[in-house]
Structure 1
Amino acid sequence: MDNRTDVLVVGGGATGTGIARDLALRGVDVTLAERGGLSAGTSGRSHGLLHSGARYAEADEPEARACLEESRTLTEIAGACVRETDGLFVQLSEDDPDYFEAKHEACAEVGIETEVLDGETVRAEIPDLSDDVERAMRVPDGVVFPSRLVAANAADAREHGAEILTHAPVTDMRREDGRIAEVELGGEVDGTIEPTYVVNAAGPYASSIAETVGATVELRPTRGVMVSVDYDRLEPVLNRCRDPNDGDIVVPHDDEVVLGTTSVPVDDPEEYERADWEIERSVEECAKMLPAVADAAHLRTWWGVRPLYEPEEAALGARGISRGFHLLEHGEEGVDNLATIVGGKLTTYRKMAEATADLVCEQLGVDADCETATRRLPGADDPERLDALVAEFDGQGPTDEDVVGR
């Protein structure tokens, strides 16, 4: 292994591999280091919803537009990494009809295509839907399979010269004259990297990575539970049309649906409580939309930790609806060659990666444009190849393990 690299990307989730891919396509020498297998963190432990932007339309118009644009882009470039299902925002009798109207109007402003269906019509489409559903709004939501998506990004980065190191946790970083001079990697690598620039894309671990060189990343990590149950009769994503709360999303897979989720602050992204009440509440609330899931067999349960940016969360309140990303430079803290990317969501990972790659290229004096929005991911038309890449990178997460490798 050559221990010199232009850019070291720390973190092998969607954002990290997306950054590595973007930079490699621009001709930058990139090394990516992931503490476990790829997508071992937040990306591979999500509910797998490909957002149309409707969830954010009335609360954060710019983020809704970003979701809409990026979901369309992923549909074009990602092939079998995503699935077009559509989605429904359903209003129950106990839900505020004004919220439904506000979301409908906001979707129109953003440019999200919608169709309003009365309860009788939508139950004809989904017979198991609750009798308590008064109306629903169809939106272009979908499903993303993060293990495949992350592996495909890593593969494309590697095909264009990047080095992808799994099971290579950062154990230390040495700063010299206001710059990171060396990064020590443990695990299967057990070596030292000398980067020109470092990108911290470590998700909920971003704070601890930054702290090794005296930099600060203010995070408010929160955990959320996902419960996969045996149910094969749902095509569209179901979203509860109300202020965000526990148990308001049902995501369809082939023979299962994923119910979620909760939002509980945690101090440590690795050691945290996994509470039974979260499972029970998520199932109970999702069953208000789709009663059959209340008695369906539980197949898998997992938690993920979101790397939310503390200043934004404090401004939004206890459970903010925005999921914008934040790109932080650390020059004022005495680390000129370090940037951290936090926040965001799986749907907008490519946009996050593009913004980060733009910054890095500016710092390195590289004049090259982003190509990731139009270049199709490798294996996009070949699920078997994608699943082989997932296995090669040890990238299987719980979100899509029922689909990958079938």
Structure 2
Amino acid sequence: MTREPEVLVIGGGATGVGVARDLALRDVDVALIDRDGLCGGTTGRSHGLLHSGARYADTDPEGAAECLAENRILRRIAGVCVRETGGLFLALDGDDDAYFDAKRDACDSVGIPVETVDPATARDRAPGLSADVERAMSVPDAVVSPSRLVAATALDADRHGATIHPHAPLESLTVRGERVTAARVGGRLDDVFRPDVVVNAAGAWAGEVAAMAGVTVAMQPTRGVMVSVDSEGIGPVLNRCRSPADGDIVVPHRTEAVLGTTSVPVRDPDDYDTPRGEIETVIDECAAMVPELADRPIVRHWWGVRPLYAPDEADRGGRGISRGFTLLDHADDGVDGFVTVVGGKLTTYRLMAESTADLVSDWLGVDASCRTADRELPAVDDPNRLDRAVATFDGAGPADVDLLDVPE
């Protein structure tokens, strides 16, 4: 049976599911496919930080302001998907005072609430901090459950008419007359879609999807390791206040702390090295902030691959510069009705989806505005229902598995 939705979204991470939700709320007939369960790529393999924007305030004020705005939106609409923790930026003995001052001033300029606190106050908020902590400032970071957030977003998309298809890998795209006319899908569906518009939200695999349409999307994925250790009571998110480097963040989860991360370019997002040395480096560096982390049992570790767009990475000059998102209209490449969205951060997934849905709506002549910032996601006051949705969409990722009650 051939399926004929107006829009086919390829990719079931936060951005793809966000696009499906946004379009469905505009009464667009939309279908979404993913080769695995939802949240199986970059989204589900993150550290679960809901950015305040402070990390980017000094290098990309516009991107930092986007993070802050989306942080506040998700706090309003995502319920138990978000846990209020606050965050601390910490300068240790030997760290650059000028960097700390520049970070604080940049937060003030962007409008990020920031408060300089003395080391004793910081230790009250985060027991176990190193005696080497000399300066600290608080920012409104938080922790997000990627699996629950994606499941809630998918529930809302489904509620408004979208069809969500996990374990439905894209096998080919057919281009005729400068338009994608068909998408062959395998797995559980084994079917053909004939959409009016195709959205490529495949993350680190976006280049492979684009190539099926004869289009080049130059990706520069980078791998990063996360290490979850048995640890309670840390309190806030901890950020090392220095130029971004390996092992500069600790994200507190329910009974664990996620330590991150590294950033190493890879050629293939499905096939890359996972050296043990990176795990040890991350633990050692994070233990500089909280010494007891060096001795805590490792519960699990995982690598994620960031979906970075190569031209943007070249312009930004590498690690540490805010990674915004890129929206590519492939009409410029001779293929109408085909768009790719890459880059960005989990915190800004809703904004990425809105921008993509705006473009698609223009193409389709849909006169409806975005409603996703003002509508609470479904089931976000009911963790059990959310976890059932995670199971339904096979969307449990390693980032928050300690939080979920999902049958194995």
TM-score bracket for this pair, using the shorter chain length = over 0.9
Secondary structure, counterpart of 1:398 in structure 2: coil
Distance in structure 2 (CA, Å) of the matches to 1:47 and 1:362 = 35
Question: In the alignment, does 2:46 pair up with 1:81?
Answer: no
Residue matched to 1:382: 382
- Spell out the pairing of 1:240-389 with structure 2 (5 A cutoff): 240-389=240-389
Distance in structure 1 (CA, Å) of the matches to 2:94 and 2:377 = 44
Residue matched to 2:15: 15
Residue matched to 1:160: 160
Letter in 1 for 2:228: S
Residue matched to 1:70: 70
Letter in 1 for 2:159: E
Question: In the alignment, does 2:103 pair up with 1:92?
Answer: no
Distance in structure 2 (CA, Å) of the matches to 1:125 and 1:158 = 41
Same amino acid, percent of matched pairs = 59
Distance in structure 2 (CA, Å) of the matches to 1:122 and 1:329 = 47
Secondary structure, counterpart of 1:105 in structure 2: helix
Q: Displacement of 1:320 after TM fit?
A: 3.9
Secondary structure, counterpart of 1:172 in structure 2: strand
Residue matched to 2:181: 181
- Cα deviations by residue, 1:56-106 (Å, 9 ceiling, x for unpaired): 001000000000000000000000111110000000012101011001001
Letter in 2 for 1:131: A
Q: Check whether the contact 2:126–2:236 (CA below 8 A) recurs between aligned residues.
A: no
Q: Check whether the contact 2:309–2:342 (CA below 8 A) recurs between aligned residues.
A: yes
Q: Displacement of 1:2 after TM fit?
A: 5.7
Distance in structure 1 (CA, Å) of the matches to 2:173 and 2:308 = 24
- Spell out the pairing of 1:190-269 with structure 2 (5 A cutoff): 190-269=190-269
Q: Check whether the contact 2:127–2:234 (CA below 8 A) recurs between aligned residues.
A: no
Distance in structure 2 (CA, Å) of the matches to 1:221 and 1:94 = 32
Residue matched to 2:27: 27
Distance in structure 1 (CA, Å) of the matches to 2:72 and 2:354 = 16
Q: Displacement of 1:405 after TM fit?
A: 1.1
Distance in structure 2 (CA, Å) of the matches to 1:38 and 1:125 = 35
Q: Displacement of 1:125 after TM fit?
A: 3.1
Letter in 2 for 1:311: P
Residue matched to 2:392: 392
Letter in 2 for 1:324: G
RMSD between aligned residues: 0.9
Q: Displacement of 1:321 after TM fit?
A: 1.7
Q: Check whether the contact 2:55–2:64 (CA below 8 A) recurs between aligned residues.
A: yes
Residue matched to 2:144: 144
Q: Which moved more, 1:390-399 or 1:123-132?
A: 123-132
Distance in structure 2 (CA, Å) of the matches to 1:240 and 1:126 = 14
Q: Displacement of 1:390 after TM fit?
A: 0.1
Distance in structure 2 (CA, Å) of the matches to 1:124 and 1:33 = 47
Letter in 2 for 1:85: T
Letter in 2 for 1:120: A
Letter in 2 for 1:169: P
- Cα deviations by residue, 1:304-337 (Å, 9 ceiling, x for unpaired): 0000111111122231421100000111222111
Distance in structure 1 (CA, Å) of the matches to 2:122 and 2:399 = 27
Q: Displacement of 1:233 after TM fit?
A: 1.4
Q: Displacement of 1:189 after TM fit?
A: 0.8
Q: Which moved more, 1:194-203 or 1:324-333?
A: 324-333
Distance in structure 2 (CA, Å) of the matches to 1:137 and 1:323 = 23
Secondary structure, counterpart of 1:149 in structure 2: helix
Distance in structure 1 (CA, Å) of the matches to 2:121 and 2:10 = 49
Distance in structure 1 (CA, Å) of the matches to 2:316 and 2:12 = 29
Secondary structure, counterpart of 2:174 in structure 1: strand
- Cα deviations by residue, 1:279-315 (Å, 9 ceiling, x for unpaired): 0110000000011100100001000000011111112
Q: Check whether the contact 1:313–1:320 (CA below 8 A) recurs between aligned residues.
A: no
Letter in 1 for 2:245: N
Letter in 1 for 2:220: R
**Structure 2: runs of 5 or more not aligned:** none
The alignment's TM-score, normalised by the length of structure 2, stands at 0.98
Q: Check whether the contact 1:227–1:298 (CA below 8 A) recurs between aligned residues.
A: yes
Residue matched to 2:40: 40
Secondary structure, counterpart of 1:353 in structure 2: helix
Distance in structure 1 (CA, Å) of the matches to 2:140 and 2:234 = 15
Distance in structure 1 (CA, Å) of the matches to 2:94 and 2:302 = 29
Letter in 2 for 1:286: C
Question: In the alignment, does 2:154 pair up with 1:134?
Answer: no
Letter in 2 for 1:104: R
Residue matched to 2:55: 55
Q: Check whether the contact 1:7–1:28 (CA below 8 A) recurs between aligned residues.
A: yes
Distance in structure 2 (CA, Å) of the matches to 1:395 and 1:64 = 28
Q: Which moved more, 1:280-289 or 1:329-338?
A: 329-338
Letter in 1 for 2:167: H
Q: Check whether the contact 1:21–1:153 (CA below 8 A) recurs between aligned residues.
A: yes
Distance in structure 1 (CA, Å) of the matches to 2:211 and 2:271 = 19
Q: Which moved more, 1:313-322 or 1:107-116?
A: 313-322
Q: Check whether the contact 2:2–2:194 (CA below 8 A) recurs between aligned residues.
A: no
Letter in 2 for 1:141: D
The alignment's TM-score, normalised by the length of structure 1, stands at 0.99
